[in-house]
């Protein structure tokens, strides 16, 4: 059989191209090429910033990876982030601002002048987080059951959930942010475990703004979620079932895979990951924001996942790919910002990159075909 990989250099190139680490190499090459032109790129402050953008997106994209592995799509993740952000914040805010919120339907029910009904204790925060997860699980179940049991297309179902849940999020606080979140909660989004200070210690107290956080709570949470997800998807019976459903649904059904249960489960996983992302985003903002996850956020999530190499056609997904995809995507956004491009220009470039990623997926598939 004639093979495309006849010459050694082409063989080497295609091995690189098909490697699990291809997108990581791509990211490193991207940084190496741009670093001389963008000196700020490798500044500790910027690296710290890149990392702080990386972790929440990684958690959300991890959830989306499970959905894409079954050849589905979840457009409602952004709305889940928004609604759980508002719900969490309204329960735990230390004080409520009557001037902003007094017309909102939640005012006087869940939140008042003296704060949210669960404000004031660590236990209250834990309960609020449990409620956020519960809301996410319910939305995930609604999506999953509609797709798996009633056989509606995932695109349609989650589009509707996105619109409706997104609207609920805005309605709850009448589009206002709910601020004054307790410190213990904010720590989850910003707190550092290891920070670095560059420079001489002239004063006994180093000003906060020149300490750069590297190991943070979001990092610990995101890495824990990603590692657990990696094992779940690649090593467990459930993970095999997810991939089997995405590879060939009819075959999975004939082979006795509980197809419906698997589909419901991935939608729940996706929503829960979105809610964990919501905690990280809300804590970082120190507010519950009903417009979190709106706009082109979905593009970031699905784009990063697909750039990593997870196929939109299902059956081909790895969490490590998603990690590298998110890394590349965050670097891309960051560098475009450093180039002083406007938000619109940034979106145009991002769109083009996702298109390139889709093309890459096709090329990779073709290469694998030639090599086997």
Partner 1 sequence: MGDLLAFEGLSKSWFGVPAVSDLTLAMRENSLLGVIGQNGAGKSTLMNMIGGIVEPTSGRMRWKGADYEPKSAADASEAGIAFIHQELNLFTNLTVAENLYIDGFPRKFGMIDWATINERTRHILGRLALDVEPSVNVGHLSPGERQLVEIARALHNEAELVIFDEPTTSLTPRETERLFETIATLRGEGRSIVYISHILSDVKKLSDDVAVLRDGKLVDQGPASDFSIARMIRSMIGRDLGGQFPERSNTPTTSAILSARSLSQPGVLQDVSIAVNRGEILGLFGLMGAGRSELARVIFGLDPHETGEIEIDGKPLAGGPRERIAAGLAFVTEDRRAEGLMLEAPIAENLALVSIDRFGKKPFMLVDRERVAEETEAMKDNLSIKAGNIARQPAKALSGGNQQKVVIGKWQMQSPKLFILDEPTRGVDVGAKYEIYTLIDRIAATGGGILMISSELEELLGMADRIVVMNRGEVVGEVGRDEFDRETILSMAFREVIA
Residues that bind partner 1 (CB under 8 A): 1, 231, 235-241, 243-244, 247-248, 250-258, 315-316, 368, 372
- Taking the complex as a whole, how short is the minimal distance between the CB of residue 318 and partner 1, in angstroms? 14
Specify the residue, 54 or 243, whose C-beta has the smaller distance to partner 1: 243
- Taking the complex as a whole, how short is the minimal distance between the CB of residue 181 and partner 1, in angstroms? 34
Structure tokens at 210: 């020149």
Specify the residue, 316 or 350, whose C-beta has the smaller distance to partner 1: 316
- Taking the complex as a whole, how short is the minimal distance between the CB of residue 99 and partner 1, in angstroms? 51
Structure tokens at 37: 């032109």
| Burial of 208 from C-beta contacts in 10 A (0-12 / 13-18 / 19+) | exposed
What's the residue count for the chain?
Answer: 372
Collapsing DSSP to helix, strand or coil, 214 comes out as strand
Q: From its phi and psi, is residue 178 left (phi > 0), alpha (psi between -120 and 50) or beta?
A: beta
Specify the residue, 38 or 232, whose C-beta has the smaller distance to partner 1: 232
Specify the residue, 62 or 76, whose C-beta has the smaller distance to partner 1: 62
Q: How far is CA 14 from CA 23, 27, 215, 368, 369, in A?
A: 14, 18, 36, 9, 12
Bridge partners (DSSP) listed for residue 303: none
- Taking the complex as a whole, how short is the minimal distance between the CB of residue 255 and partner 1, in angstroms? 5
- Taking the complex as a whole, how short is the minimal distance between the CB of residue 115 and partner 1, in angstroms? 40
Specify the residue, 159 or 320, whose C-beta has the smaller distance to partner 1: 320
Q: How far is CA 193 from CA 185, 214, 220, in A?
A: 15, 8, 9
């Amino acid at each position: 059989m004639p093979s495309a990989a006849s010459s050694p250099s082409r063989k080497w190139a295609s091995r690189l191209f098909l490697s699990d680490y291809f997108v990581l190499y791509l990211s490193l090459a991207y940084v190496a090429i741009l670093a001389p032109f963008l000196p700020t790129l490798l500044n500790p402050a910027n690296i710290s910033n890149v990392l702080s953008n990386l972790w929440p997106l990684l958690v959300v994209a991890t959830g989306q990876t499970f959905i894409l592995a079954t050849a589905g799509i979840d457009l409602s993740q952004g709305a889940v982030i928004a609604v759980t952000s508002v719900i969490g914040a309204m329960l735990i805010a230390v004080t409520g601002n009557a001037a902003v919120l007094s017309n909102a339907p939640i005012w006087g029910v869940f939140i008042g002048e003296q704060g949210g009904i669960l404000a004031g204790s660590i236990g209250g925060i834990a309960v609020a987080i449990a409620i956020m997860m519960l809301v996410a699980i319910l939305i995930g179940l609604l999506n999953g059951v509609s797709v798996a049991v009633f056989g509606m297309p995932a695109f349609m179902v989650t589009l509707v959930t996105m619109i409706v849940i997104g609207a609920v999020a805005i309605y709850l606080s009448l589009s206002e942010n709910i601020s004054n979140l307790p410190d213990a909660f904010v720590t989850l989004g910003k707190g550092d475990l290891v920070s670095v200070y560059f420079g001489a210690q002239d004063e006994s107290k180093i000003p906060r703004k020149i300490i750069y956080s590297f190991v943070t709570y979001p990092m610990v949470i995101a890495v824990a979620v990603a590692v657990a997800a990696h094992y779940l998807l690649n090593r467990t019976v459930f993970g095999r079932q997810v991939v089997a459903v995405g590879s060939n649904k009819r075959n999975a059904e004939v082979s006795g895979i509980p197809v419906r249960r698997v589909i419901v489960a991935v939608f729940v996983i996706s929503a829960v990951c979105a809610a964990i992302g919501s905690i990280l985003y809300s804590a970082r903002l120190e507010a519950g924001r009903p417009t979190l996850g709106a706009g082109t956020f979905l593009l970031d999530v699905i784009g990063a996942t697909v750039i990593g190499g997870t196929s939109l056609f299902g059956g081909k997904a790895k969490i490590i790919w998603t990690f590298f995809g998110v890394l590349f995507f965050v670097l891309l956004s960051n560098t475009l910002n450093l180039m002083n491009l406007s938000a619109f220009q940034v979106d145009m470039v991002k769109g083009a990159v996702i298109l390139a990623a889709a093309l890459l997926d096709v090329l990779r598939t073709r290469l694998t075909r030639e090599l086997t």
